[in-house]
Amino acid sequence: MSPVLNEFMKKCIKVIEVELENAVQKLNTPERLKEAMLYSLQAGGKRLRPVLLMATLKAFNKEKKMGLSAACALEMIHTYSLIHDDLPSMDDDDLRRGKPTNHKVFGEAFAILAGDGLLTYSFQLIAEDESISPQTRMKLISLLAKCAGPEGMVGGQAADIEGENKSLGLEQLEYIHLHKTGKLLVFSVLAGAIIAGANEEELQQYERFAVNLGLAFQIQDDILDIEGDESKIGKPVGSDADNQKSTYPSILSLDGAKAKLAEHVSLAKDALKAAGHNAEFLIGITDLVAERDH
Amino acid sequence: MSPVLNEFMKKCIKVIEVELENAVQKLNTPERLKEAMLYSLQAGGKRLRPVLLMATLKAFNKEKKMGLSAACALEMIHTYSLIHDDLPSMDDDDLRRGKPTNHKVFGEAFAILAGDGLLTYSFQLIAEDESISPQTRMKLISLLAKCAGPEGMVGGQAADIEGENKSLGLEQLEYIHLHKTGKLLVFSVLAGAIIAGANEEELQQYERFAVNLGLAFQIQDDILDIEGDESKIGKPVGSDADNQKSTYPSILSLDGAKAKLAEHVSLAKDALKAAGHNAEFLIGITDLVAERDH
């Protein structure tokens, strides 16, 4: 990674983590609910979505801080989805990023409520950001709800649960990924473009970029489950195959999955080129996503 | 109930039920998720929140249909909260309004997702309602998130769980009710007033009305658990006492609770009088809430 991108990402992560903490601390709500919300928000992670949003603003020569409320909203929605996904009736995970999952610490009832609280609060953050015009806030909220709700992330999660223990085709697998993880990545990028005042043509190119980035992200995830280093990815290699999960390599072979990854990386970069911006940070992030080892 | 109010409520319920069904049917989402969302939305209920919103519009001489998206959003949020509250890790209820609860029919994972989907979609409905100005939509979304989120309903639910099996004082009991059920009733009324273009003074009076109506609603709930007819309220009388739950009668005695109920009904009506409107439907609904037998 280039030192400039590294520096940029560090700054984004710092500013977003301060803002997330402030946003929750100022809530007038029972202490234990606040703790449960903060626990998962502060569990670390790559903060990929806020970074993408801010790197998109940068491609439009706009300042990070213009995207602060939308970036916090994104991270809150991503975090709520992890809390609910980890619940015993969903993926039943005890650990997340090496720490006990939310329901293991606060109990299931508070984990459900912490998720509900983060989801609801995320819309308030954008709605109350007076540095953005009401028209733009409206667009952001409508797009965020669409990307996070039944036609987006929640729909993808539902399709994923329905697809468990079934042998899926490439089309079904893509539906799941495009929705379960893809739509929120699309929002990350489009939110930056919308706040920057992008035109229709630019929005289309940035959406194309984000869709391909999201698929690349997912394919690399599947490849790491075969070729990764357990100590780096933090879970046993080969768990997808053990669980007979449909993945890109299981459908396309490992080589086929690698070719598909390269294809999506190339399509993502083409879209940025077509938009005609100097989007060096977004290009750098695309390489990071495709080449990451965890 | 006056025949005019009866007619008005019937019309409200009809229009809202058609709109709720349409809103969900048009979603492009996995069929089973749609079914789970519709199952609970169509489980009946008094539709008190949409009716309150529309009766408030009426007090401002405005048409019902101006409040349709906010009314649907309200009913979706109320419904999501019931689905999540009924989960095994929360109240663990098998029946709701005489029908199996959502997780009994669709499983816990889909019940959680149906709730998440309804909550998220509710914001989209308001954000996309172009019959309302962006400024007004913004106010509605910000207030809805506040009333439904950690500082509102979710916060009240958290306080309720923390208060289980503890002996609560009147102040703690009021905190729970003002938030768990009260805030969404406040939104119901204020949403109508905001859409109608109410001024600051009017908003204050309508909020005072809604707060007192919400407390009256809850006190009558507690009274019915002692004096109600099991066949009408649909659950065993005396369950609060059996569960050693803190209630208005347990803190104030039954007579004290009845006096408190009368006080809140009177304060609610005073607020309407102070607003200077002919709010006959809101007055009628207040009497219904205080005198209901289920």
Please state the rounded mean pLDDT for residues A29-56.
96
Q: Distance from B101 to chain A by nearest Cα, in Å?
A: 16
* CATH number for domain A3-291, candidates 1.10.600.10, 1.10.460.10, 1.20.1560.10, 3.40.250.10: 1.10.600.10
CB A30 within 8 A of CB B159: yes
Tell me what pLDDT residue B294 has: 82
Please answer yes or no on whether A119 and B116 come within 8 Å at the CB atom. Answer: yes
State the distance between the two ends of chain A, measured CA to CA, in whole angstroms.
15
Q: How far apart are CA B9 and CA B281, in angstroms?
A: 9
Task: Supply φ then ψ for residue B96, to 5 degrees.
Answer: -140, 120
Read off the pLDDT of each residue in B189-214 and give the average, rounded to a whole number.
98
pLDDT at A232: 79
Which residue type sits at B13? Answer: I
Asked if B108 has any chain A CB less than 8 Å from its own CB, the reply is yes
Give Cα A289 to chain centroid, integer Å.
12
A positions 163-202 inside 8 Å of B (CB): none
Residue numbers in A near B89 (CB within 8 A):
107-109, 112
Average pLDDT over residues B108-136: 97
More confident residue, B277 or A52: A52
Q: CB B169: neighbour CB atoms within 10 A?
A: 10
The pLDDT tens digits of the residues spanning B264-294 come to 999 999 999 999 998 999 999 999 999 988 8
CB contact under 8 A, A112 and B84: yes
| Mean residue pLDDT across chain A | 95
Domain boundaries, chain B: 3-291
> What's the whole-number average pLDDT of chain B?
95
- Is any Cβ of chain A less than 8 angstroms from the Cβ of B131? no
The C-alpha atoms of residue A44 and residue A130 are separated, in whole angstroms, by 28
* Least CB–CB distance from A32: residue in B119, B137, B162: B162
| Six-digit token string for A171 | 């089309």
On whether any CB of chain A is under 8 Å from the CB of B74, the answer is no
Q: Dihedral sign, CA of A169, A172, A176, A182? A: positive
Tell me: pLDDT of A293 over 90.
no
Asked if B32 is an interface residue toward chain A (Cβ–Cβ < 8 A), one would say yes
- ipTM above 0.85 for this complex: yes
When pLDDT is cut at 50, 70 and 90, the band that residue B86 belongs to is: very high
Which of A87, A124, A149 is closest, CB to CB, to B120?
A: A149
Q: Binning pLDDT at 50, 70 and 90, where does residue A154 land?
A: very high
pLDDT in tens, A96-151: 988 999 999 999 999 999 999 999 999 999 999 999 999 999 999 999 999 999 99
The per-residue pLDDT for range A221-255, each reduced to its tens digit, is 999 999 988 877 777 788 888 888 899 999 999 99
pLDDT of residue A9: 97
What is the spatial distance between Cα A270 and Cα A260, in angstroms, rounded to a whole number?
15
**3-state class (DSSP) for residue B64:** helix
Q: Does A161 touch chain B (CB under 8 A)?
A: yes
Would you call A4 an interface residue with chain B, using a CB distance cutoff of 8 Å? no
Please tell me the predicted confidence (pLDDT) of residue B242: 83
| Least CB–CB distance from B150: residue in A117, A155, A158 | A117
Would you place residue B239 in the very low, low, confident or very high pLDDT band (cuts 50, 70, 90)? Answer: confident
pLDDT of residue B229: 84
For the stretch A252-287, pLDDT in tens is: 999 999 999 999 999 999 999 999 998 999 999 999
Backbone angles phi, psi at B263, to 5 degrees: -65, -45
